Amino acid sequence: MASQHHKYIFVVGGVMSGVGKGIASSSIGTLLQAKGFEVNLAKVDPYLNVDAGTMNPTEHGEVFVLNSGLETDQDMGNYERFLNRDLSGTDYMTSGMIYKHVIDKERALGYHGKCVEAVPQIRDEIVRRYEHSAKINKSDISVIEIGGTVGDYQNIMFIEAARVLKIRHPDDVIFVMVSYLPIPAKIGEMKSRPTQHAVSQLASYGVYTDIIIARSERVVDARRKEKIAIACNIPAENVVSAPDIESVYDVPLNFERDKLGDIILKSLKLKQKNNAASVAGLSAWKKFAEGVKHVNKEVHIAIVGKYFTTGDFVLTDAYLSVLEAIKYSAYKLGVKPVIHTVNARDYESTKPNYKALTKFDGLLVPGGFGETGIEGKLNVIRYARENKIPYFGLCYGMQLMTIEFARNVLGMKDANTAEINPKAQDVVIDIMPDKKKKLEEGNFGGSMRLGSYPSKLKEGTLARRAYGASLVHERHRHRYEVNPAYVEKIQAAGLVFSGTSPDGRLMEIAELPQGTGTGEHPFFLGTQFHPEFLARPLNPHPLFTEFIKVASQKVKKSVKK
């Protein structure tokens, strides 16, 4: 029976990059899940970097961390958010990872003296990983997005490996091309020729497109669908129109309207399953996507970070998961999130414009590295603490709030993190001992404390109330930690470490007691981990929800005045 076989859907890009291949792949996942299938999504990145940890986030986008600790491309974040499930480390691979594995194996005589080449050894290693990922996930269907565009030199081997899988399992592998149909302003007509070329380029590799997702500014009309279908050798119904839309969360619903789910099942010779997931269908997702549109009151949140401009554009992808996490909690509370960027460097002068901060309902300092903008962030945190503006610190944002507290409440004027000044009088944030050794060896890749670790939460604290649990698991990515030598002093002065590692050694959450009295604050909390990596549309993160809740209460108050 066909449905017993594992199925593979390879998603490739045609014409150009940046047209939403990641969201298209994620949405295919959401659709198939709603038809009752277990789905895993995987990303193939053609980079020679062994993982995404060493890639510059302002160039490549945010580094997303999985439970396993693997540092991946931000698309993995989209996948987890759209599937509402954790993905495994086998769901991400780079060219670097594959080559390193094959070369290490060759060095260890793993090929028994054979001549080792890209074909077959590299190709077969990729095939092995495609199959392994399916097995680990115990899924029915793997949706595998091949990074880059058809015609790139870098991704050929991944496409070649997919071709081999198709030869082995002709009924179980299909290819979806996410392509782009431009409407040149001077011509005013939607052009399908570049897509036809992309399809024929793919065919020159021996790989035939089954379905085309036609991205464009506008809806692709029947005439063009027909034209593409004839030129590309597929039924017209297999050309799915994907026009630009307001909200990415509508993509699965639009795909469903164009029957993409059924088209995929037909191509894979599958029948919709009859189980709880298929009965629920897309209803939970629909409710969420509708909710996004029915928010009224605004909540203004500023992300105080490092921002880089390229020409007229500000790059914000580096904080993608944070932006998403804020949105999900705001939607859950029925408020409209308006997210602002505050450049930390603007708060480094001797007379920063603090008044500009009062228009925000909440301030957030996200994760980061190095010295840029640090003093500015510290100034903003002090302002938030003293003026009782809700503040949420993520990783570096928690370390900096501890430094700010040490400097301005405990009077340790020189307090700092070893990351910036290891010779400071009070190194309140210090390097983790095992990480120090790695850095001394020049070993930067994968050298942080990475992935999911448990934290136990203190009774009666804000964190404990927000989570409604005493033990939580969160994802980490850091090298430095609160120096254990300062924990007692800091706590005695009023900053509570409400979350710690189960052995009590590592400080995971810092907070001021929630309230309006002296030494209290409506929301002043930081986490050593990255809660944003676990925030999902259908499952917003409790700490973000509490932060937005308090921030929007402030909105209410100011409206009354």
Give residues in contact with ligand GLN (CB under 6 A).
Answer: 367-369, 395-396, 419, 477-480
Q: In this complex, which beta carbon is closest to ligand GLN, that of residue 479 or of residue 536?
A: 479
Task: Give the nearest distance from C-beta 347 to ligand GLN in angstroms.
Answer: 18
Token pair belonging to 23: 């969201």
Q: State the DSSP code for 1.
A: -
- Among the options 476, 478, 530, 541, which is catalytic? 530
Q: State the DSSP code for 241.
A: E
Task: Give the nearest distance from C-beta 195 to ligand GLN in angstroms.
Answer: 40
Q: In this complex, which beta carbon is closest to ligand GLN, that of residue 366 or of residue 542?
A: 366
- Under 8 Å between Cβ of 381 and 341: no
Q: In this complex, which beta carbon is closest to ligand GLN, that of residue 306 or of residue 332?
A: 306
Closest CA to 43 of 273, 277, 61: 61
Torsion, CA 511, CA 515, CA 521, CA 525, rounded to 10 = 30
User: Per this entry, what is the length of the chain?
Assistant: 561
- Among the options 125, 404, 508, 532, which is catalytic? 532
Q: In this complex, which beta carbon is closest to ligand GLN, that of residue 263 or of residue 507?
A: 507
Three-state secondary structure call for residue 313: strand
Cα–Cα distance for residue pair 390/554, rounded to 1 Å: 9
In this structure, the number of other CB atoms found within 10 A of the CB of residue 135 comes to 11
Q: Find the helix or strand (DSSP H, E) in which 450 lies.
A: strand 449-457
- Where helices occur in 35-155 by DSSP H, the ranges are 57-60, 75-83, 95-107, 123-137
Task: Give the nearest distance from C-beta 97 to ligand GLN in angstroms.
Answer: 22
Task: Give the nearest distance from C-beta 481 to ligand GLN in angstroms.
Answer: 7
In this structure, the number of other CB atoms found within 10 A of the CB of residue 182 comes to 18
Q: In this complex, which beta carbon is closest to ligand GLN, that of residue 54 or of residue 84?
A: 54
Tell me the residue number closest to ligand GLN, measured at CB: 367
Task: Give the nearest distance from C-beta 317 to ligand GLN in angstroms.
Answer: 16
Task: Give the nearest distance from C-beta 424 to ligand GLN in angstroms.
Answer: 15
Q: In this complex, which beta carbon is closest to ligand GLN, that of residue 99 or of residue 369?
A: 369
Q: In this complex, which beta carbon is closest to ligand GLN, that of residue 84 or of residue 501?
A: 501
CA neighbours closer than 13 Å in the CB half-sphere of residue 320: 18
Helix axes 123-137, 156-168, angle to 10 degrees: 60
Distance of CA 102 to the CA centre of its chain: 29
Q: Which residues contact 85 (CB under 8 A, 6 or more apart)?
A: none
Task: Give the nearest distance from C-beta 471 to ligand GLN in angstroms.
Answer: 22
First to last CA, the chain: 68
Task: Give the nearest distance from C-beta 417 to ligand GLN in angstroms.
Answer: 7
**476 in catalytic set:** no
Task: Give the nearest distance from C-beta 478 to ligand GLN in angstroms.
Answer: 3
Q: In this complex, which beta carbon is closest to ligand GLN, that of residue 482 or of residue 548?
A: 482
Q: In this complex, which beta carbon is closest to ligand GLN, that of residue 166 or of residue 477?
A: 477
- Among the options 62, 125, 324, 395, which is catalytic? 395
Q: Which residues contact 391 (CB under 8 A, 6 or more apart)?
A: 362, 363, 364, 365, 381, 384, 385, 401, 521, 523, 524, 525, 526
Q: Which residues contact 408 (CB under 8 A, 6 or more apart)?
A: 382, 385
- Under 8 Å between Cβ of 63 and 49: no
Q: Strands 449-457 and 471-478: what pairing?
A: antiparallel
Q: In this complex, which beta carbon is closest to ligand GLN, that of residue 210 or of residue 419?
A: 419
Cα–Cα distance for residue pair 28/83, rounded to 1 Å: 10
**125 in catalytic set:** no
**197 in catalytic set:** no
Task: Give the nearest distance from C-beta 127 to ligand GLN in angstroms.
Answer: 35
Query: DSSP labels for 272-294?
Result: ---SHHHHHTTHHHHHHHHHHHS
The helices-and-strands tally (H runs, E runs) of the chain is: 19, 23
Strand ranges of the sheet holding 427-431, from the earlier edge strand across to the other edge: 416-417, 427-431, 480-482
Q: In this complex, which beta carbon is closest to ligand GLN, that of residue 28 or of residue 363?
A: 363
Cα–Cα distance for residue pair 349/189, rounded to 1 Å: 52
% helix / strand / coil in the chain, to the nearest 5?
Answer: 45, 20, 35
112: region left, alpha or beta (phi > 0 left; psi from -120 to 50 alpha): left
Closest CA to 118 of 150, 160, 175: 160
- Where helices occur in 108-250 by DSSP H, the ranges are 123-137, 156-168, 193-204, 222-232
Task: Give the nearest distance from C-beta 225 to ligand GLN in angstroms.
Answer: 46
What residues are labeled active site?
395, 530, 532
